[in-house]
Amino acid sequence: MRPRTLAEFVGQHHLLGPDKLLDRLVRQQYLPSLLLWGPPGTGKTTLARILAQTTGADFVFFSAVLSGVKEVRQIVEQARERKEKEQVATVLFVDEIHRFNKSQQDGFLPHVESGLLTLIGATTENPSFHVIAPLLSRCRVIVLQPLTEEDLATILAHAVSDHERGLGDLHLTVEAAAADHLVRMADGDARRLLNSLEIAANLAPTDEAGNRRITLAVVEEAIQRKSLRYDKDGEEHYNLISALHKSLRDSDPDGSLYWLCRMLAAGEEPLYIARRLIRFASEDIGNADPQALSLAMAARDSYHTLGTPEGELALAQAVIYLATAPKSNAVYAAYNEVMADIKRTGSLAVPMAIRNAPTGLMRELGYGKNYQYAHDDRQALVAQEHLPPELAGRTYYHPTNRGYEAVVKDRLTKWQQILKQRQQETKEQKKP
């Protein structure tokens, strides 16, 4: 069921909609080197194949798991021959490019730089951490999103009706509850959806007319996961998690425990709840109670070890602790403010004083010059700017007066007073 054209491709509307980035590249028949970053089953490989096809380039699939530098050399030689003899460009698709080490990634650089190869790398990991900077600067990073439930429902319908490449010849009927469960359990992954559908289709009984009916029971058997069932009032999955989150934020242990139990009774995945509790510990408590994050992690690990029902008590313990902990979103707010500045200002240079200077040349160029070693000071305090000059003086973290953050705030205030006093004393000494 892999799409063969952009018309068949489902999802990624932010990239493929009218006049969006990839739509414009296809219409211009221009393909730069790309890094496709997104979760599994979102269409990275498919998209690379279609893009190569629309530009008339030769598509070469390369796995970072199964191949190495030797294969890269062979691909380069073949690409050079095709370009010289047939005037055909080569698109090298590197699956799981993050698994290549630095030296292996370096091997692509001269060929991408010369234009011999158009590189399309696919990764489920953040390229900023797993792709070397020179290669990253030569590629456009394209972020793919998990497929929506509407996207997955469309893919499911196509697979059931397609007689050429899908399951159309099996004369399948998929009940609405079964389709909903398949889509929900796929969790944005088309590959997972199609695999589960295929298993369910093979498990579905065939009637006398040769038709098969996929029921909710068949799907549950196929993927070994019970359907999430919500109570008769019809509260939805996201309404319940929202109620839990807001009860925690408002420091209400009773309401928080109630919504936790409602979700567990409805059949919600406990590890999903555990992940949300971990997020809450950082977002809404932060340094007001640093122990909250540790306890949330411990609750997740406890459930993972004990399972249901014993492990659910650890989740209840975590919920009550988080509800009764002091609250602060100062870390969350600081993080968002910094990310906004980075997005606005780009890759600002590291100040020379705090750059690493392991070589003589770097020291000659001024790396590390005038760096002040904090431990040389009796109070381990130095007046030294650590932000890029364009952001000098910015304050992102504003601790509250709640919980442990009050201690942090007091400490930062005292440090600022000490440094300010030193600055004043220095000015006094310089006076004639």
Domains of the chain, CATH where assigned: 13-143 (3.40.50.300), 149-223 (1.10.8.60), 237-324 (1.20.272.10)
Distance CA 206, CA 188 (A): 30
Q: Are the C-beta atoms of residues 351 and 390 closer than 8 Å to each other?
A: no
Distance CA 3, CA 283 (A): 40
3-state secondary structure of 344: helix
Pick from 62-71, 94-103, 268-277, 281-290: least confident: 62-71
The pLDDT score that the predictor gives to residue 68 is: 63
Quickly count: other Cβ atoms within 10 Å of residue 172's Cβ.
Answer: 19
Pick from 3-12, 106-115, 168-177: least confident: 106-115
Q: What is the DSSP letter of 147?
A: P
- Which residues, other chains included, contact 331 with Cβ-Cβ below 8 Å and sequence gap of 6+? 282, 283, 286, 287, 397
Quick one: pLDDT band at residue 233, thresholds 50, 70, 90?
very low
- Which residues, other chains included, contact 221 with Cβ-Cβ below 8 Å and sequence gap of 6+? 200, 203
Q: Which residue has the higher pLDDT, 135 or 70?
A: 135
Alpha-helical runs (H) found in 204-284: 216-223, 237-249, 253-265, 270-280
Alpha-helical runs (H) found in 86-203: 102-106, 109-114, 127-130, 133-137, 149-161, 176-186, 190-203
Q: What Rg do the C-alpha atoms of the chain give, in angstroms?
A: 28
Average of pLDDT values for 335-356? 93
- Which residues, other chains included, contact 8 with Cβ-Cβ below 8 Å and sequence gap of 6+? none
Q: Which residue has the higher pLDDT, 194 or 83?
A: 194
Quick one: pLDDT band at residue 66, thresholds 50, 70, 90?
low
Pick from 27-36, 157-166, 174-183, 293-302: least confident: 27-36
The pLDDT score that the predictor gives to residue 225 is: 58
Average of pLDDT values for 94-113? 81
Is-above-0.85 flag for pTM? no
Quick one: pLDDT band at residue 24, thresholds 50, 70, 90?
confident
414 sits in which H/E element: helix 404-430
Q: Which residue has the higher pLDDT, 128 or 331?
A: 331
Average of pLDDT values for 351-357? 92
Is residue 32 over pLDDT 70? yes
